[in-house]
Structure 1
Amino acid sequence: MQCFIYKSSKKDELYLYIAKQDDFSNVPEAILKSIGPPVFVMELDITPERLLAREKAADVIKGIEEHGFFIQMPPSIYPAPKKLQ
C-alpha cells in the first residue's frame, strides 16, 4: 500500500499516515485541529511484512483501509512498569 506520512506541527513525534497525498478528507476535523497543519514528511510503500520504526505495518494498513488514516502517537515519556515477582 502506498501511503503518505505527515508530522504534526503541534505535537512532537506524532505522525499521520494517509492513502492519498494531501487528501485529509477522511481525517476528522477535531484531529486535524489538535495536531495542527500537517507537514509532509515522505511517501512510503508499506507491506504487512515491512518493518517500521515504531508501528506494525499491518496495523498501519488496517487503519488506513478501515478509517482512511492512521495516527502514530509519540512514544510514552514514562517507562513501562516493571512486573512484580
Structure 2
Amino acid sequence: MRVYVYRSSRRTDTYIYLAGKDDFAAIPDSLMQVFGAPRFALEFDLTPERALAQEDPRAVLASLRDRGFHLQMPADNERPM
C-alpha cells in the first residue's frame, strides 16, 4: 500500500500516515486542531514486512484500513492527543 506521511506543525516527532495523498477527511477535527497544519514528509510503499523506525507496519496498515489514518506520537508521550 502506498502511504503518505505528514509531520505536525505543533507537536515534535508526531506524524499522521494516510493512504491517500492530502486526504484528511477521516481525521477528526479535534485531532487536526492539536496536530496543526500538516507538513508533507514522505511517501513510500508499506508492506507488513517493511521495517519502520518506531511503528509496527502491521499496526499501521490495520489503522489505515480501520480508521483511515494512523497517528504516530513520540514514545515518551504520556497522554494521547
Give TM class, smaller chain: over 0.9
Q: Secondary structure at the match of 1:23?
A: coil
Q: Which runs of 5+ in 1 are unaligned?
A: 79-85
Equivalent pairs, count? 78
Q: CA deviation at 1:77?
A: 6.6
1:6 equivalent to 2:6? Answer yes
Q: CA deviation at 1:70?
A: 0.2
% identity of equivalent residues: 37
- Rg larger in structure: 1
Listed as ranges, the matches of 1:1-85 within 5 Å are 1-76=1-76
Q: Please, what is the CA RMSD of the aligned residues? A: 1.3
4+ runs deviating over 6 angstroms: none
Give, as a single letter, the amino acid of the residue that structure 1 aligns with 2:6.
Y
TM-score by length of structure 1 reads: 0.88
Q: Distance in 2 between matches of 1:77 and 1:67?
A: 21
